[in-house]
Structure 1
Amino acid sequence: MKMITLLTSCLLLLTTYSSMARQATDRATQQMDSLFAAYNTTTPGVAIAVVKDGQTIFQKGYGTANLEYGIPITPSTVFQSASVSKQFTAFAIYLLEKQGKISMEDDIRRYFPELPDYEKPVRIRHLLAHTGGIKDEWAFLTIAGWQEEDVITTDQILRLLARQKELNFTPGTTFGYSNTGYTLLAELIHRVSGLSFSAYTKKYIFEPLGMVNTQFYDDYHKIIKNRAYSYEKANGVYERRELIFSNVGPTSLYTTAEDMTRWAANFTTPKVGDAALIKAFNTISLLDNNKPVIYAISANDTLYHSKGQVSWRYRGLNVYSHGGHVAGYRAWLFRVPEQNFAIVALSNDEHYDILNTGKQIVGFYLKDKLNEAPGNTADAATPLKDTTADYKTNLNELAGEYYSEELDTKYKIAVSNDTLTMHHTRLKDIVLNRKGEYAFSGINTFPFDIAFIKDGKAITAFSISNFGVKNVRFTRIGGGTFKRTASNTSAKK
């Protein structure tokens, strides 16, 4: 009788627990549906997946993968994941090291003899941590007159990189985000393994994990089934954003929310790599002085870099995450190792708010694990400085043609309606805003600073810097006063 009573009690507890778990799951699903209610058959959208203890507990698509044909987004819709690609590239490097084929201390010129002989070696571990000082490819491509919708290949990037005679900084001394470093890592795997980077990752990562709809896209001619196109609003109407480059390593991972759950689960129960490899992979990167590599500092936390991931704390949780953004694609992988928890978000909407939406999803599932949200610690707005000054330099003195040997490109500096402009044959004219006697700023995809260099009484050159390129020199090859009409002059956005 006692045994029957005990069994009955156990069954009741199991039934109650199962019912409570089902109710919690249903509540989270309702919250998800409410969060993404704005996505429908007339909008792009997002695919979401949630993993707990190695199991997928939620996956669903919202919105439309292709607005031309009205194809809905599902967990098996394929998206470009942009910089989320980097952790796969880094993991592949760790696998190559485990195979005994490389050392993290190797000088990269061992594999890339075409690169200049820098003053101090750039090592593989420097590329992984963004501490190599290598100029960022998107930064120097835009300065060279390239645009995101151009055909851009790894070979083109490597040829331009070989012309870069100087680094942004001494390797191992600081953090400087460099997509180029991950292009080099992918090409290194190709040169060492004898397989294309796409084939290597397929053989050693995607196939073992069952990621059947995932690939590194190394040929823009290839057809990808179930691919979502990306969109951005212009004047309130969604427009398609083109993306036809085939540069792999820092980007170009095409994957699905469904496949990414298998990648997230691998951190809990490794099928690719082992516990020791994953521990090393998750360890925060170090500078040469053994101080941690700082990715960014916010009002509430310091964010550290760890091989294609960012390590930080969110409301008491130790998390690893990384976002991605290219054309109109948005991607995010968020992991909480101590809770065996992960969120995957893949979107084809330029306006999808990755971070804030992701934090809400964390709240749906880990509400009881979160500390109280911090208050608003944003700094007060800084008043704009008065830029009106009595500059002595006449703008016409700066006008002329300037050439960069490193980028093999030319700009014409002109004066239009008392405003200095930059002209390139492939770009809209760029308005330069004055910051000092010889200092200006502008926007060419990315904000940049430009400083004119005077030798004696004549302007002989200018140097240009943006987020990923420092002090690229353009030598003056022609002088004279260049004027352009106002109708041809606009800031590139």
Structure 2
Amino acid sequence: MPRKSLVSSFLLLGLTFAAASEGAERHQGPLPTQRHKQVDALFAPWSGKGTPGCAVGISRDGALDYARGYGMSNLEYDVPITPQSVFHTGSITKQFTAFAIGLLAQEGKLSLGDDMRKYLPEMPDFGKTITLAHLMHHTNGLREQGQLLNLAGWRGDDLYTEADILWALTRQRSLNFAPGSEIVYGNAAYTLLGVIVRRVSGKSLRAFADERIFKPLGMADTHFHDDHTELVPRRASAYTPRDGGGWRISVPNIDHYGSTNLFTTIVDLLKWEQNLLDGRVGGPELIALMQTSGRLNDGTATLYGGGLHLEAHRGLRMVSHDGMDGGYRTDAILFPDQRLAIVALCNNGTIDPSGLTRKVAEVYLGEFLKNVMPPAVKVPEAELSELVGTYWSPLTDAVVQLEFKDGALRQVGVPTAFVPIGNGAFRPGESMHVWRFSKPAANAPRELSIKDAWPTTRDFIRVTEPMPTDSALAALTGKYRSDEVDMTYTVRVADGRLAIRWPRRDEVMLDAVGGDRFVCSLGTVTFTRAASGGVDGLTISHRRMRRLRAERLAVAEAPRSEAGPR
């Protein structure tokens, strides 16, 4: 595309070229062979024949600069990863679903301001309108689809279908929050957007995207995967570590898409990244929409557009998205002002591709990246120890636990140490997230606020309730019924701890944190009490699913059906 036309497109998008960006355009950096050796060094730990790894692609000004595979695509047959290996990309998928919705909006077939129930009448009326924009920007309040199916009895290796997800979502009676009041990233909204594409266009999302996106861009190795039994030439398998050493296959078993399940290669994905610059398909207005932040009801920008994170990285504008599903780990980042795109598609569940793509960016743009990390300050160990404890969020029912270990404040179960940055604030490692502790008022618990990549700050208070006695634990046992997931749960005491189980799932142990509140692999389990003081139910909460309720059953009451559709 001629430079004049490209600049015109940027102006249409309202982009401004900073002086540093202009310098980056002229700057060539290290010689190509030097750059490529530095990239190779970053991925060297996964370049052997005994490990799954990554395919990495880099483009500059629309031209392929480097593409290489590291490690093995299939450990059973000794097949190496190449630039032509096809990967399941996880949530990188979302931007393509959003783009399909945008194409339909351009044609006047729908509007982002439409109520989702216009196209999904089977969804419950929650009393507040959820628009397509709410779905696109994660401001909808819907509960997370995978957690709902987990609590309904689906196992990790079960087949998950679109019908299963619709079954779970249409049973819900409440939301995590009022639409537009917060942003919480989730998958249910994008599965629903995929359904809407089919109902509005008359074609499946796969067929629509093939015709309107992939074929026009020459993405011949890309498709929405809608049949888990379909053969895909050059598909990379995925792996996670096996206890005791070695690897285990970890491939998602799903027949739904929209939120995930895009299959592609690094070469194809770089073609898409170029389209985010020049708008060859969709035009500048749709590209602008994709890169326009959603907003909360109070006007706060969410920094999430059409399936794209719109964050700055060390002073440079960046458009990105990562993905994680089974053992697949993926990341695609674009620096629009420098016209640099970096893609890493990995089949090794231990790899952090987001960290690696940003290190590749340092190789190419190092001298233009600013050091924006807040510097560390000294805090006496005694002051750090005072912050140890369990903190609970009244809004979300989430719990975080902090400990002092190896000379640093840490979140229990997370190896990253908290770095003090002054005024009661900490950052987790090299992250820009901020955990800030307030000085407690007299006779009041200490408070904690967490500001991560999302604009909604999460507030916590330290738990001061006593730990439950053996008799208190026994009083919580029994059966609990949730019609929202059509499941009955059994709570019992096992070896001095509470445990919860339900059909087809392994029993989950609950760890007390004070009063009627417990933490486990499900998130937070809180037992609720009637006005009389007796236990009348429990709720299960996670970052993406708040307070799913189960009512306590009377001893003589027989449970109803305990399985949804399979």
TM-score range, shorter chain: 0.7 to 0.9
Match of 2:530 in 1: 454
Secondary structure of the residue aligned to 2:553 is strand
Match of 1:8 in 2: none
Amino acid at match of 1:462: L
Match of 1:133 in 2: 141
Distance apart, 1:460 and its partner CA: 2.0
Q: Indicate how the Cα distance of structure 1 residues 377 and 479 shifts in structure 2: closer, same or farther if over 3 A, else same.
A: farther
Task: Single out whichever of 196-205 and 144-153 deviates more from structure 2.
Answer: 144-153
Match of 2:501 in 1: 423
Equivalent of 1:48 in 51, 56, 64: 56
Amino acid at match of 1:212: A
Match of 1:233 in 2: 241
Match of 1:274 in 2: 283
Matches within 5 A, 1:404-483: 404-444=482-522, 447-479=523-555
Matches within 5 A, 1:125-164: 125-164=133-172
Match of 2:127 in 1: 119
Q: Quote the Cα distance in structure 1 between the aligned partners of 2:550 and 2:319.
A: 41
Distance apart, 1:321 and its partner CA: 1.2
**CA deviation string 1:335-394 (max 9, x = no partner):** 111111110010000011222212210011112221236355599684235989364662
Distance apart, 1:172 and its partner CA: 1.1
Conservation of the 8 A alpha-carbon contact between 2:84 and 2:266: yes
Secondary structure of the residue aligned to 1:187 is helix
Secondary structure of the residue aligned to 2:254 is coil
Q: TM-score, normalised by structure 2?
A: 0.76
Q: Quote the Cα distance in structure 2 between the aligned partners of 1:173 and 1:309.
A: 20
Conservation of the 8 A alpha-carbon contact between 1:229 and 1:240: yes
Amino acid at match of 2:528: F
Task: Give the superposed CA RMSD.
Answer: 2.0
> Can you give the 5+ residue segments of structure 1 that lack an aligned partner in the other structure?
1-19, 294-303, 481-493
Secondary structure of the residue aligned to 2:34 is helix
Q: Indicate how the Cα distance of structure 1 residues 369 and 217 shifts in structure 2: closer, same or farther if over 3 A, else same.
A: same
Task: Single out whichever of 40-49 and 433-442 deviates more from structure 2.
Answer: 433-442
Q: TM-score, normalised by structure 1?
A: 0.87
Q: Quote the Cα distance in structure 1 between the aligned partners of 2:28 and 2:113.
A: 49
Match of 1:179 in 2: 187
Equivalent of 2:478 in 385, 400, 405: 400
Conservation of the 8 A alpha-carbon contact between 1:453 and 1:463: no
Matches within 5 A, 1:341-360: 341-360=340-359
Secondary structure of the residue aligned to 1:37 is helix
Amino acid at match of 1:324: G
Amino acid at match of 1:326: D
**CA deviation string 1:316-344 (max 9, x = no partner):** 10111111111100010111111111100
Q: Quote the Cα distance in structure 2 between the aligned partners of 1:76 and 1:150.
A: 29
> Can you give the 5+ residue segments of structure 2 that lack an aligned partner in the other structure?
1-26, 391-462, 557-566
Distance apart, 1:448 and its partner CA: 3.0
**CA deviation string 1:152-172 (max 9, x = no partner):** 011110111111111111111
**CA deviation string 1:297-327 (max 9, x = no partner):** xxxxxxx212211111211101111111111
**Identity fraction in percent:** 33
Match of 2:109 in 1: 101
Equivalent of 1:65 in 53, 73, 94: 73
**CA deviation string 1:428-473 (max 9, x = no partner):** 21111112321111113xx333333335253221111112111111
Q: Quote the Cα distance in structure 1 between the aligned partners of 2:36 and 2:58.
A: 11
Secondary structure of the residue aligned to 2:278 is coil
Q: Quote the Cα distance in structure 1 between the aligned partners of 2:480 and 2:307.
A: 37
Secondary structure of the residue aligned to 2:389 is coil
Q: Quote the Cα distance in structure 1 between the aligned partners of 2:372 and 2:542.
A: 35
Conservation of the 8 A alpha-carbon contact between 1:133 and 1:176: yes
Conservation of the 8 A alpha-carbon contact between 1:448 and 1:467: no
Distance apart, 1:188 and its partner CA: 0.2
Equivalent of 1:245 in 254, 257, 276: 254
Task: Single out whichever of 140-149 and 341-350 deviates more from structure 2.
Answer: 140-149
Q: Indicate how the Cα distance of structure 1 residues 212 and 477 shifts in structure 2: closer, same or farther if over 3 A, else same.
A: same
Conservation of the 8 A alpha-carbon contact between 1:115 and 1:162: yes
Structure 2 residue 286 is the aligned partner of structure 1 residue 285: no
Match of 1:3 in 2: none
Amino acid at match of 1:287: L
Q: Quote the Cα distance in structure 2 between the aligned partners of 1:440 and 1:183.
A: 31
Match of 1:328 in 2: 327
Q: Quote the Cα distance in structure 2 between the aligned partners of 1:257 and 1:453.
A: 53
Q: Quote the Cα distance in structure 1 between the aligned partners of 2:372 and 2:141.
A: 37
Match of 1:212 in 2: 220
Amino acid at match of 2:287: I
Task: Single out whichever of 356-365 and 43-52 deviates more from structure 2.
Answer: 356-365
Distance apart, 1:427 and its partner CA: 1.8
Structure 2 residue 274 is the aligned partner of structure 1 residue 265: yes
Q: Quote the Cα distance in structure 2 between the aligned partners of 1:53 and 1:436.
A: 57
Secondary structure of the residue aligned to 1:338 is coil
